C-alpha cells in the first residue's frame, strides 16, 4: 500500500501519510505528497486539503538515513513549493512532533492546527545542520526574527500553547478529534477570499524594524551552549537573509549552507551520535519477547549527593520514591536539597509550582529500612565501600519483596560481588547515574554475570521513561566511563610532574570542546573526595593540596586560586608544590607542547576503549561514544572517542601510543594494521 493515501470528505481532501515509525519524509512520502497535491489542483470537488499523519506523530523531519546519499527527486523543497503554489487552502493537522522537514511542510501550508500535546521545532542544528527546505526563510516571515532565531539556532521545540502565542499555529484543536476538527477548520477557511502564503508575508521581516545587533546578540547570549558548533552561525546568516533578500535568493543561500554543513565533519559526527544513542538501547542476545517488570514504586538508599538526584528522576516522571537514610539530619538535608533543586528549576520558569508540589508529594522520606519492602526497584547510593555495599545487599535481599530489582549506583565496584551477597543474583544490576544525577543524561546500565534478561530490559525501558540515554556495560573496575577516565587522569597527573602546568592541560581539553579540564573538574568536585587526613603522606600533588587546606572551589583554592566570582586563576602555590615534589623525586621538568598534552590525554582513552570493546564490556564501539558524550561532556560534534579515533586515523594513534610507551590494545593494533575503523560507515 502507498505510504500516502487520500480521501474526500465534505469537499476536503484528506492527504494521509503512514510511514512508521515517525513519518520521516523519505522519497516515497515526498513523491506521494507531491502527486496528491498536484492532483488536487484541477479537481473541482476539492475545496481544501488537510495534511495529516497516522501513528505517533506528524512528519518528524527529513529521512536522516538518506543524508549523504545521492538525492532522489522530488526534493523536499519542490514538495513545499507545490503545496504553497496550490490554488486552494492547505491545512497542516499536527499531532506528536512536527520537526525539521515536517515543520517546513507545515509552514508551506496556508494554515496550521494542532492538538494540545503537539510540539513543533527545528532540531536540525543538533544534527549540525540548518533547516534546508525553506524553514529559515518561512519561519521568520511568519513569527518574526527573535522567535525564529531561538527556534532555529537552539533547536528546542515549542509546545502547542507557545506555538499559538507566537502565531506559528492558527488553532489548537481537540486532542482526540484532530481529523474532524481540521476538516471543520478547512471548511471554515475555504470561505475566505484569500489565504496567507508564508513566503509572501512581509510584516514580520521589515528590515527597518529589526535591530541589526539582534543576530550577534543571539550568538553572544548563547555562546556557552553553542561553543565549537559551526551550524548556529549558518542558521543566523540564513535568518538574516530572510530579512535582507527576496525569498528565492534566501532559499538559495539556505541551500548552499545546508549542503556545505551536510558534507562537513560536524554534521556527519552528530548524525552518528543520533543513531548511536538509539542503537545503545538495544540489548544484544536477548529475545524480543522478553517480559518486563512493572515499576510502580522505587526505593533509594542514601540521600547524599547521588541519592537525592536519583530520586528526582523518578519523582519528575511521576513514580513514587521512598528515600532512606541512617540519620535524621542527613535525611532532612537530602530532602531539602531536592526541594531546593526543584524550586531553582521553577524559578527559571521550567516547572510550575504545582509540578514541584506534585513531585514532592510523591516522595516518602524515612529512617526505617523496612519501608523499602514493597518497592519494585531499590537503588542503593551509600558510600563507595565494598564491605558496606555487601552488608546493604544482604539486608536488601532479606527485606525487599521477591521479584523486585536490587540496583547499585557504584562507580567502580563489582556488581557480581554484590549479587553474591544475595540469594537472587539475577535481580541484581548496576544503575550508574552521573553527577548531578537529575541533570546528566547518561545512565550506565551494568549487566552482572547473572543479571536476567527481564531485569536488563526493564531497566533499559525505565531509563527511557526518566529521559536518560542508556548504555550497557559489563562488570569491570569503573565500567566504560570511569575506566577510560582513569587513563586520562593518570596521564594528567604524570604530565604536571613532567613539566606541563595544570592550566595548560585544562586549556588543551577545553579547546578541544570539553566543558572543563581534569583539574578544573577536580576543583569543582572537591579534592578531598576519597582523601584521608590520617593516612595522607604528602606523596602526590593532590595530597599536599589537601594537607594545605586547598580542597577546591569550596575552600577558594585547589589546583587554582579562586576569586570572589569563583573564577579560577593559575596558582603560584600549586606550581611550588609541584616543583617541590619533582625535586624530591630527583627528576627534571621539561617544557611540554600542547600537541603532546593532547595526544597523551586522549589517545590512551581510545586505547582503553578498544580494550573495553575487545573484552565485551561494551556491546559496540558507538556505545562508548554515547557514554563519553552524555556522561563526561566529550564534544558531540567530534562524534565521541571511538568515532573521533577513526577520523584521526588508527595508525596515527598507535604510533603516538608507542612513542609514549603505552601498551597498545590488541584490537586497536589489529584494526590499524587491517586499515579498519571502529565505526562502520
Q: Which three cell numbers stand for residue 444?
A: 550506565
Q: Rule CB under 6 A: is residue 99 a binding residue for ligand 3HC? A: yes
What is the arrangement of strands in the sheet containing 119-121, beginning at the earlier edge strand?
97-99, 119-121, 158-159
Residue 432, helix vs strand vs coil: strand
Instruction: Collapse the DSSP code of 159 into the 3-class scheme (helix H, G, I; strand E, B; otherwise coil) and give the result.
Output: strand
Helix/strand/coil for 88: coil
H or E stretch covering 449: none
383 contributes a contact to ligand NAI by CB under 6 A: yes
Angle between helices 247-262 and 265-279 (to 10 degrees): 70
| Signed CA dihedral, 127, 130, 133, 138: sign only | positive
64 binds ligand 3HC per the rule CB under 6 A: yes
Distance CA 165, CA 34 (A): 31
Pick from ligand 3HC, ligand NAI, none: which does 21 bind, CB < 5 to 8 A by kind? ligand 3HC
Q: How far is the CB of 557 from ligand NAI (least distance, A)?
A: 21
Give strand pairing partners of 114: 94, 172
* Contact flag: residue 21 with ligand 3HC (CB under 6 A): yes
Catalytic residue among 34, 124, 596, 608: 124
**CB of 533 vs ligand NAI, minimal distance in Å:** 17
Question: Which of 426, 433, 440, 442 is closest to 408 using CA atoms?
Answer: 433
Of the residues 47, 84, 124, 504, which one makes contact with ligand 3HC according to CB under 6 A = 124
Q: Is the dihedral of CA 473, 478, 481, 483 positive or negative?
A: negative
Considering the rule CB under 6 A, would residue 270 count as an interface residue with ligand 3HC? no
Grid cell at residue 488: 586520562
The one of ligand NAI, ligand 3HC, none whose footprint includes residue 307, by CB under 5 to 8 A per kind, is ligand NAI
Pairing of strands 442-446, 469-473: parallel
Give whichever of 280 and 606 is closer to ligand 3HC, judged by the CB atom. Answer: 280
The rounded distance, in Å, linking the Cα atoms of 399 and 356 is 31
Among 89, 131, 474, 568, binds ligand 3HC (CB under 6 A): 131
- The CB-of-276 to ligand 3HC minimum distance in angstroms stands at 10
Query: Among ligand NAI, ligand 3HC, none, what binds residue 429 when CB lies within 5 to 8 Å by partner kind?
Result: none
Distance CA(246)–CA(240), nearest Å, equals 11
Q: Is 446 in the site for ligand NAI (CB under 6 A)?
A: no
For residue 674, give the DSSP letter: T
Distance of CA 483 to the CA centre of its chain: 21
| Per-residue contact string for residues 70-89; x = within reach of ligand 3HC by CB under 6 A | ------x-------------
List the single partner that 428 binds among ligand 3HC, ligand NAI, none, CB under 5 to 8 Å by kind: none
Query: Contact letters (x/-) for ligand NAI, 386-425, by CB under 6 A?
Result: ------x----------------xxx--------------
Q: 365-391 burial, b if ≥16 CB within 10 A, otherwise e?
A: beeebebbbebbbbbbbbebeeeebbe
| 104 assigned to active site | yes
Distances (CA, A) of 394 to 42, 418, 449: 76, 8, 18
Residue of 74, 228, 264, 304 that binds ligand NAI (CB under 6 A)? 304
Nearest to 628 by CA among 454, 469, 420, 495: 469
Site string for ligand NAI, 611-630 (x = CB under 6 A): --------------------
278 in contact with ligand 3HC (CB under 6 A): yes
Contact by Cβ (8 Å): 98, 178: no
The verdict on whether 343 is a catalytic residue reads no
Q: How far is the CB of 632 from ligand NAI (least distance, A)?
A: 11
What DSSP character marks residue 552? B
Contact with ligand NAI (CB under 6 A) among 61, 102, 134, 307: 307
Residues 436-455 that bind ligand 3HC (CB under 6 A): none
Give least dist CB 308 to ligand NAI, A. 8
Q: Are strands 377-380 and 298-301 parallel, antiparallel or unpaired?
A: parallel
Is 324 a binding residue for ligand NAI by CB under 6 A? The answer is yes
User: Which of ligand NAI, ligand 3HC, none interacts with 324 (beta carbon under 5 to 8 A by kind)?
Assistant: ligand NAI
Per-residue contact string for residues 225-264; x = within reach of ligand 3HC by CB under 6 A: ----------------------------------------
> Which residue from 128, 135, 140, 568 is in contact with ligand 3HC, where contact means CB under 6 A?
135
CB atoms within 10 A of CB 510: 16
Going residue by residue from 352 to 381, which x/- string records binding to ligand NAI, judged by CB under 6 A? -----------------------------x
Instruction: State which residue, 271 or 447, has the beta carbon closest to ligand 3HC.
Output: 271
State how beta strands 90-94 and 111-114 pair: parallel
Distances (CA, A) of 397 to 228, 391, 572: 48, 10, 53
Q: Interface residues with ligand NAI (CB under 6 A)? A: 301-307, 324-326, 330, 381-384, 392, 409-411, 433-435
Residues labelled catalytic: 104, 124
Q: Interface residues with ligand 3HC (CB under 6 A)? A: 21-22, 24, 57, 60-65, 76, 97, 99-101, 104, 123-124, 127, 131-133, 135, 278
Amino acid at each position: 500500500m502507498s505510504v500516502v493515501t487520500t480521501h474526500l470528505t465534505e469537499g476536503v481532501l484528506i492527504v494521509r501519510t503512514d510511514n512508521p515509525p515517525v513519518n520521516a519524509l523519505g522519497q516515497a512520502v515526498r513523491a506521494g505528497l507531491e502527486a496528491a497535491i498536484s492532483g488536487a489542483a484541477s479537481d473541482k470537488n476539492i475545496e481544501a486539503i488537510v495534511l495529516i499523519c497516522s501513528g505517533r506523530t506528524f512528519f518528524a523531519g527529513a529521512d536522516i538515513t538518506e543524508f549523504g546519499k545521492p538525492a532522489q527527486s522530488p526534493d523536499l523543497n519542490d514538495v513545499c513549493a507545490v503545496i504553497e503554489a496550490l490554488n486552494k487552502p492547505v491545512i497542516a493537522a499536527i499531532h506528536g512532533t512536527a520537526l525539521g522537514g515536517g515543520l517546513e511542510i507545515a509552514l508551506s501550508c496556508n494554515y496550521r492546527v494542532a492538538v494540545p500535546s503537539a510540539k513543533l521545532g527545528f532540531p536540525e542544528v543538533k544534527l549540525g545542520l540548518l533547516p534546508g527546505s525553506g524553514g529559515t526563510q518561512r519561519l521568520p516571515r511568519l513569527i518574526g526574527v527573535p522567535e525564529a532565531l531561538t527556534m532555529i539556532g537552539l533547536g528546542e521545540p515549542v509546545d502547542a500553547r507557545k506555538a499559538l502565542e507566537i502565531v506559528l499555529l492558527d488553532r489548537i484543536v481537540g486532542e482526540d478529534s484532530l481529523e474532524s476538527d481540521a476538516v471543520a477548520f478547512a471548511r471554515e477557511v475555504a470561505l475566505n477570499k484569500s489565504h496567507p502564503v508564508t513566503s509572501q508575508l512581509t510584516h514580520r521581516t521589515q528590515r527597518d524594524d529589526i535591530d541589526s545587533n539582534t543576530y550577534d546578540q543571539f550568538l553572544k547570549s548563547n555562546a556557552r551552549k553553542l561553543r565549537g558548533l559551526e551550524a548556529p552561525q549558518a542558521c543566523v546568516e540564513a535568518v538574516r537573509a530572510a530579512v535582507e533578500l527576496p525569498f528565492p535568493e534566501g532559499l538559495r543561500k539556505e541551500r548552499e549552507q545546508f549542503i556545505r554543513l551536510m558534507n562537513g565533519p560536524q554534521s556527519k559526527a552528530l548524525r552518528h551520535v543520533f543513531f548511536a544513542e538509539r542503537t545503545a538501547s538495544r540489548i544484544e542476545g536477548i529475545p524480543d519477547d522478553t517480559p518486563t517488570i512493572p515499576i510502580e514504586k522505587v526505593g533509594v538508599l542514601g540521600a547524599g549527593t547521588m541519592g537525592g538526584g536519583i530520586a528526582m528522576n523518578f519523582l519528575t516522571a511521576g513514580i513514587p520514591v521512598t528515600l532512606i537514610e541512617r540519620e535524621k539530619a542527613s535525611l532532612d538535608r537530602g530532602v531539602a536539597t531536592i526541594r531546593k533543586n526543584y524550586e531553582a528549576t521553577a524559578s527559571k520558569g521550567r516547572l510550575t509550582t504545582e509540578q514541584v508540589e506534585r513531585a514532592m508529594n510523591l516522595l516518602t522520606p524515612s529512617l526505617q529500612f523496612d519501608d523499602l519492602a514493597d518497592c519494585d526497584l531499590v537503588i542503593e547510593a551509600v558510600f563507595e565501600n565494598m564491605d558496606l555495599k555487601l552488608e546493604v545487599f544482604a539486608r536488601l535481599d532479606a527485606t525487599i519483596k521477591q521479584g523486585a530489582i536490587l540496583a547499585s549506583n557504584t562507580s567502580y565496584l563489582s556488581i557480581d560481588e554484590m549479587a553474591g551477597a544475595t540469594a537472587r543474583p539475577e535481580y541484581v544490576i548496576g544503575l550508574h547515574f552521573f553527577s548531578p544525577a537529575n541533570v546528566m543524561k547518561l545512565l550506565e546500565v551494568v549487566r552482572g554475570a547473572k543479571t536476567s534478561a527481564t531485569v536488563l530490559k526493564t531497566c533499559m525501558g525505565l531509563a527511557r521513561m526518566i529521559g536518560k540515554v542508556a548504555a550497557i556495560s559489563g562488570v569491570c573496575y569503573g565500567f566504560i566511563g570511569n575506566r577510560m577516565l582513569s587513563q586520562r587522569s593518570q596521564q594528567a597527573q604524570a604530565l604536571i610532574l613532567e613539566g606541563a602546568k595544570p592550566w595548560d592541560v585544562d586549556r588543551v581539553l577545553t579547546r578541544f570542546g570539553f566543558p572543563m579540564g581534569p583539574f578544573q573538574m577536580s576543583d569543582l568536585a572537591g579534592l578531598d573526595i576519597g582523601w584521608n587526613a590520617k593516612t595522607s603522606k604528602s606523596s602526590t600533588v593532590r595530597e599536599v593540596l589537601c594537607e594545605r587546606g586547598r580542597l577546591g572551589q569550596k575552600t577558594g583554592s585547589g589546583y587554582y586560586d579562586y576569586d570572589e566570582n569563583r573564577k579560577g586563576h593559575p596558582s603560584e602555590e600549586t606550581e611550588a608544590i609541584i616543583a617541590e615534589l619533582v625535586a624530591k623525586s630527583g627528576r627534571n621538568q621539561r617544557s611540554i607542547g600542547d600537541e603532546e598534552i593532547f595526544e597523551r590525554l586522549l589517545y590512551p582513552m581510545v586505547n582503553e576503549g578498544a580494550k573495553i570493546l575487545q573484552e565485551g564490556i561494551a556491546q559496540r564501539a558507538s556505545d562508548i561514544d554515547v557514554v563519553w558524550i552524555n556522561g563526561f561532556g566529550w564534544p558531540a560534534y567530534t562524534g565521541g572517542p571511538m568515532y573521533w579515533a577513526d577520523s584521526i586515523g588508527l595508525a596515527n594513534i598507535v604510533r603516538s601510543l608507542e612513542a609514549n610507551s603505552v601498551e597498545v590494545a590488541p584490537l586497536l593494533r589489529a584494526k590499524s594494521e587491517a586499515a579498519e575503523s571502529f565505526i562502520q560507515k
